[in-house]
Amino acid sequence: MTKNKLKNLLRTAFEKLYYYLAISVVFDLSFLCGLGIFSFATSHIVAFNIYNKLANERYKEKVKIFKILKENLLSNLKENYKMSLIYILLLIIISLDIFYFSAANGTLYKTLFYIFIILIFVILNAMIMSFFIKIMYPSLNLKENIQNSISLIVVNIVDILLLDILIGITTYFLNKISFILLILVFPGIYIELTYYVYKKILEKKSISYLLFNIN
């Protein structure tokens, strides 16, 4: 490997690490500014929005990431909190149902327990998809957003399963190395992976689309 190639490789690696760190800081700040669980919509929307704006930029331009953080962080906070609150209430209700069915005896309750496990999996992924859809199609109202998000998750379930497995593996290995990496690097990796897969889904280039020829 020549000196120039090594230099370019190291520079690319440094820029990539910086980008992951920057997105992670954006994600963490957005989360903290909204009092934790009430702002996971804000943290995702802000991170997706910034990533989308810089997706086609050169890494030299991407270092300007913090210059556009403030305007994105403060925009549409009320609507983002509304989304978070709706999802929180829905997840609490389903979680209580799962707890009840898991404690009850009988085949019917066990069947309902597994159905609700699948349901919460779909809702959690549809929730994240809805944050992405909000950035890509801001003209959609909340109801249309949620309906489209659920449909996309169900239709592209193969891609979603693979994405969740990959995120789980990444989380496991980063945690094995250091818990600090989960805070400083993982959100950036998570946003990039999720953005990439969701973009493929919207472009009808997903694995599910290719396998099943989805229209």
State how far the Cα of 41 lies from the Cα of 132, in Å rounded to an integer.
10
Supply the pLDDT for residue 8.
74
Structure tokens at 27: 């994600």
Residue 58 pLDDT class (50, 70, 90 cuts): low
Residue 35, pLDDT above cutoff 60: no
**What b/e readout covers 18-34, taking b as 16+ CB neighbours within 10 angstroms?**
ebbebbbbbbebbbeeb
Q: What percent of the chain has pLDDT over 70?
A: 79
Q: Highest-confidence range of 46-55, 68-77, 150-159, 174-183, by mean pLDDT?
A: 150-159
Give 20's contacts (C-beta < 8 A, 6+ positions apart).
185, 188, 189, 192
Residue 133, pLDDT above cutoff 80: yes
pLDDT tens for residues 80-123?
Answer: 677 777 777 877 888 887 887 777 788 887 888 888 888 888 98
Whole-structure pTM value: 0.79
Q: Tell me which of 103-112, 113-122, 128-137, 164-173 is least confident.
A: 103-112
Supply the pLDDT for residue 129.
93
